[in-house]
Amino acid sequence: IEVNKNRHIPKEFDFNINNSILEGLNKNNLPYTIAARTVTKQSDNIYNLNSIDATHKLSEDNLHIVADNGLLDENTNLLILSDNVKVIFNNFELTGNKVNFDLNSNLASSKEPVEVTYQHSTIKALNFYSDDSNNIINFEGEVVSTFNANDF
């Protein structure tokens, strides 16, 4: 076996890992899995992710998350999703261009426009945030809601 003695890679090279799966546990010991087509190390604990398909176990159900791109901070377990973001839970689908997701607490937020659809009902807002204390999602800024009574 030959060992490469050049342990220092020059800065002009990127270190990419293709078809990666990252796994962990949140603060309630529930598992999450993040699959990415490409993972590139940006700095010590910061990774750029490409073509994300993630599953996050909640108490009884799963949260499914997809996005074109993302940034994962291993120190804080913050996943910043961007470009064609979809967060799917049961029959609810939240879409937006940028969503922050805390892998430890399951809290999500965005300061950019989002839309939630449930069957034939929608909520549109300029931003949203979730509240861990009571599992409530708050929508703010030019909120427009359309509810189809047959959906409930």
pLDDT in tens, 6-52: 455 555 556 667 788 888 888 888 899 999 999 998 888 899 999 99
Average pLDDT of span 116-137: 87
For residues 42 and 54, the answer to whether their CB atoms sit within 8 Å is no
In the predicted structure, residue 74 carries a pLDDT above the cut 70: yes
Tell me, what's the pLDDT at 33?
93
Beta strands 127-131; 121-125: pairing state: unpaired
Say which residue, 71 or 45, is predicted with more confidence.
71
Nearest CA among 113, 106, 146 for reference residue 127: 113
Q: What is the DSSP letter of 107?
A: -
Q: Is 144 exposed, middle or buried (0-12, 13-18, 19+ CB in 10 A)?
A: exposed
Tell me, what's the pLDDT at 1?
42
User: What confidence tier does 131 reach under pLDDT thresholds 50, 70, 90?
Assistant: confident
Q: Which residues contact 38 (CB under 8 A, 6 or more apart)?
A: 16, 17, 18, 20, 48, 49, 50, 51
Average pLDDT of span 92-104: 93
